Amino acid sequence: EKYKEPFRPQFHFSPEKKWMNDPNGMVYYKGIYHLFYQYYPDDIVWGPMHWGHATSTDLIHWTHKKIALFPDKLGMIFSGSAVVDIDNTSGLGTKENPPMIAVFTYHDMAGEKGGRTDYQTQGLSYSLDEGETWLKYEKNPIVKNSGVKDFRDPKVFWNNETKLWNMVLVAGDHAQFYTSENLINWKFESQFGENIGAHGGVWECPDIFKLKVANSNEEKWVLLISINPGAPNGGSGTQYFIGDFDGKSFKTTQKDIKWIDNGADNYAGVTYNNTPDNKRIFIGWMSNWSYARDTPTKNWRSAMTLPRELSLEKINNNYVLKNSPVEPFKKQLVSEFSKDILPIKPNQKVTFTYENFNQSEVKFKASSKNLKLVFSNEVNDSLVLNYDAVQKNFSIDRRHSGIVNFEKSFGEKIHNTKIPNITTETIDYQIVIDWSSIEIFLNGGVYSFTEQIFPSKPYTKLSIQSDEKLEIKNVTIHRIKGIW
Ligand code: FRU
């Protein structure tokens, strides 16, 4: 049976078979969300990159499509983005039938092996049948390389304020901004980042967009930058900057380093172009380059995060980018258990048993006091989540969560995160588990944590305890319907 292998996610996107990494070309058009992704159709480890393709009408159920982009004489097809060229500015379609346009990075393997530094360039591909089939632009590349080794991952979008196309891409330790009238000829405008933010590794997969700040009339631009390595809990992670963008350059007064997700497994995430209602929807790759190729799955490797809606809020006089599962996710939930009030006595465990926490959502509100949650199974695998109210620290301990020995760093350390932006007296906990992943959202995504786990058997027990007296409210356990 399909999609029944051990660890196979049941409600997250994963390829039918073989290797996947970054989400690419996320664009909405005529009722359909397109998801392309870094894909190697011949093995379950990274190899010559293609763009795989899937579509969805609700961001939850996915239909696999045929491979969209294949490597050609200019190189492999690395990460990038897609737009709908509604006014046919490129001239590659017509006004009646606007082209869908993908801009991606060509990676020339021979050039790299030959010791050159200009082996990454930006290419363009277009579709005249709403994403079904793709043609390469004859005069590729559209952006040449002046000798920067890591020069990639273009995100293009229509800037409605300047009435121009924008492109942001990364060049080693910084991002570069470009403008264009036709998506083909690009003008370099500015660069950002060499002296700011985290630099533990090269910058990858940029994105930039504007959001309203909740409860105000203010609007701010958010710049996403993935880095590998250099994430707070090891390996790859995604940081963000809040600032202003005039279509040419990005400016920020931000001093601290901010991360969109504090778990170990949310990388290379970017957002959709052209979504209805101006919603800003994010999908990340639910893995980490430290061990992406070693995880104990067969037939396929890795999955995407749940699609998440992004929003901005000012907390502690500081901008915070929130992310939480998109609305249609709720339709997958089937109620299994609910309790209005659950008193917790100091040092006394409250235990829930449930046949399969590995396809479930657990939600509750708890007073902001120390709290320890342990998911476990009959073979004593245990995944421990701990909130320390005094230190304002949240930790995930997957050291004994199941199979961890496929790579050294995976189960080596407890992952700790300081969470000063939890300022409320009661905290909302939302925990979503799908066989080989856990996604935790505190206060509607003020903090999120995404991690892979490989328990030998599904978790069937959840214990809740504290060394303090507290009250837990609105506890619900939902089964999550599969999508395949
Ligand atoms: C990020 C990344 C991108 C690159 C792609 C190659 O995970 O390294 O920078 O375009 O993967 O597959």
Q: What is the pLDDT of residues 223-234, one digit of tens each?
A: 999 999 999 999
What is the CB-side half-sphere exposure of residue 184 using CA atoms within 13 A? 15
Whole-angstrom distance, CA of residue 401 vs CA of residue 382: 5
Q: What percent of the chain has pLDDT over 90?
A: 99
For residue 77, the CA-to-ligand 1 centroid distance in Å is 10
For residue 105, the CA-to-ligand 1 centroid distance in Å is 9
Average pLDDT over residues 151-163: 98
Select from 18, 21, 119, 228 the residue to mutate for testing ligand 1; criterion: most ligand atoms less than 8 Å from CB: 21
pTM above 0.95, yes or no: yes
For residue 385, the CA-to-ligand 1 centroid distance in Å is 31
Taking the CA of residue 236 as reference, the ligand 1 atom at the shortest distance is 7
- The answer to ipTM > 0.85 is yes
- Which three-class secondary structure state does DSSP give residue 305? coil
Q: Is 108 a catalytic residue?
A: no
Q: Which pLDDT does position 98 carry in this prediction?
A: 98
Select from 38, 112, 304 the residue to mutate for testing ligand 1; criterion: most ligand atoms less than 8 Å from CB: 38
Q: Which pLDDT does position 286 carry in this prediction?
A: 98
Between the alpha carbon of residue 283 and those of residues 79, 103, 279, 449, the distances in Å are 14, 18, 13, 14
For residue 95, the CA-to-ligand 1 centroid distance in Å is 34
For residue 154, the CA-to-ligand 1 centroid distance in Å is 11
Q: Which residues line ligand 1 (CB under 6 A)?
A: 21-22, 38, 49, 78-79, 105, 152-153, 204-205, 268
Between the alpha carbon of residue 262 and those of residues 257, 329, 365, 402, 446, the distances in Å are 12, 22, 21, 21, 11
Handedness of CA 355, 263, 25, 41 (dihedral sign): negative
Whole-angstrom distance, CA of residue 232 vs CA of residue 316: 21
Select from 40, 105, 109, 152 the residue to mutate for testing ligand 1; criterion: most ligand atoms less than 8 Å from CB: 152
Element (H, E) at 126: strand 120-127
Whole-angstrom distance, CA of residue 478 vs CA of residue 361: 5
Taking the CA of residue 80 as reference, the ligand 1 atom at the shortest distance is 10
pLDDT tens digits, 190-247: 999 999 999 999 999 999 999 999 999 999 999 999 999 999 999 999 999 999 999 9
Average pLDDT over residues 417-423: 98
Mean pLDDT of the chain: 98
Q: Could you write out the DSSP letters of every residue in 422-474?
A: --SSEEEEEEEEESSEEEEEETTTTEEEEEE---SS---EEEEE-SS-EEEEE
Task: Tell me how long the chain is.
Answer: 484
For residue 204, the CA-to-ligand 1 centroid distance in Å is 7
Per DSSP, 234 falls in state S
Q: Which pLDDT does position 308 carry in this prediction?
A: 98
Q: Give the type of residue at 415.
A: H
Element (H, E) at 109: helix 109-113
Does the pLDDT at position 1 exceed 80?
A: no
